[in-house]
Amino acid sequence: MNILRKALQRGLTPSNIISYVCLESMRLWGAFWGTVRLRCKAALLGVAVGPGTRAHGPVGLLRWPGGSIRIGARASLISSRRRATAASLYAPVRLRVFGPGAAIEIGEGAQLSGTSVTARSQRISIGRQVLLAPNCVIVDSDFHAPWPPETRATEPGLERDAPVSIGDYVWIGMNCLILKGVSIGEGAMIGAGSVVTRDVPPFCLAAGAPARVLRRLGPEDAMPGSEGRGA
């Protein structure tokens, strides 16, 4: 009632109040049940989940015996279209390790939105406070040997797998694909729709398919029109 009273004092219409209450209800309800389901599933499958981590909607977990999945403290896993802000989600968050020794590490405070992370035989690490916009895919493998072509359906090509590392404070735009063997440096930004096939240095903006470095990031990126301002 206190919230409604404050809303009325600010001159909001009844329809605005109802809209706000609906939004808050969906957010809180989705976070509550999503987090309960995540923690129950993680406990059953041997997935480590840090304190304060929340899930909005269902999270797909698959851990092969001998593999590991670790989700850091205060991470946010957004699997619900109702909670996604930038775009609709194609699928829930999915974290999957398909072999012994494969690992997924998600850092403290990372935010994933409809992200699919699949480690077949290597380690995929996502740093602290990383932002993954809707519908990104991260893999450590091609999942098939490229040659000879007649055996692609049967040869796994495990020897070609390679680890993936995403540094702290990286921001990856929506619909990006991060391929095997890639290292993205701390504070880098990846433009929406990019296909990252090679390393990206720290504090750089990269975009394209395949992604290439466009420029360095600096203090002038904090706000529009700040170029040339002194300290």
Relative to beta strand 131-132, strand 171-172 is: parallel
**Tokens coding 48:** 């480590």
Asked if 56 and 77 count as a contact pair (C-beta separation under 8 A), the reply is yes
**Tokens coding 80:** 């619900």
Among 41, 54, 81, 144, the active-site one is 144
**β-pair partners for 97:** 63, 119
**Tokens coding 187:** 């504070």
Using only C-alpha atoms, what is the Rg of the chain?
A: 20
* H or E stretch at 45: helix 14-45
56 counts as catalytic: no
Number of neighbours of residue 213 by Cβ within 10 angstroms: 15
Which residue shows structure tokens 């840090």?
Answer: 50
Q: What is the DSSP letter of 53?
A: -
Active site residues: 144
